[in-house]
Amino acid sequence: MMTTTSRSARFFVHAALACSAAVAPWLAQAQTAGMPQMKSGGAGQYVCGGIGSDESTAMRGEMKSHPLSLLFARAGGAYLANVDVMVKDASGGTALAMRADGPVCLVDLPAGSYTVEASSQGVMKSQAVTLGAAPKTADFRF
């Protein structure tokens, strides 16, 4: 025979489970709110953005979840968009080519060694990165 206390406890457990099931999709959506959609290109995927404080916060919060993050800014520190980017693999082939339409790009590429070339305002800069163990960030100042 079930006591009133055990029925109440059981009711509250079921209610809590129902509430958490109803809230879970909303929480997942809230975590990626403000994030632009991933795009495919070459050997990987990427997303660029970070214009506006909500999108910038969302993009920076996702940096740890991607093998490579690219940051673009002027020499004085102001964010920069419309940067042409080419990522070359170890053999010199193009792994990814894109135009960064925001100051933050999150890039998903297979583990390996790459050279990232970024061009803006007639200036080209490059950085070597090795992806695999931990997320990497390449910061480009123009």
> For the chain, what is the largest distance between any 2 Cα atoms, rounded to a whole number of angstroms?
81
Rounded to a whole number, what is the distance in angstroms from the first to the last CA of the chain?
75
Tokens of 103: 């100051």
CA distance 33 to 36: 9
| CATH superfamily assigned to domain 39-141 | Immunoglobulins (2.60.40.10)
pLDDT at 36: 82
CB 101 within 8 A of CB 48: yes
Interval 26-54 mean pLDDT: 76
Across the chain, mean pLDDT equals: 83
pTM for the full model? Answer: 0.75
- How confident is the model over 102-135, as pLDDT tens digits? 999 999 999 999 999 999 989 999 999 999 989 9
Q: Please tell me the predicted confidence (pLDDT) of residue 2.
A: 52
Supply the pLDDT for residue 35: 79
Tell me the per-residue pLDDT of 64-79, one tens digit each, with 9 for 90 and over.
999 999 999 999 999 9
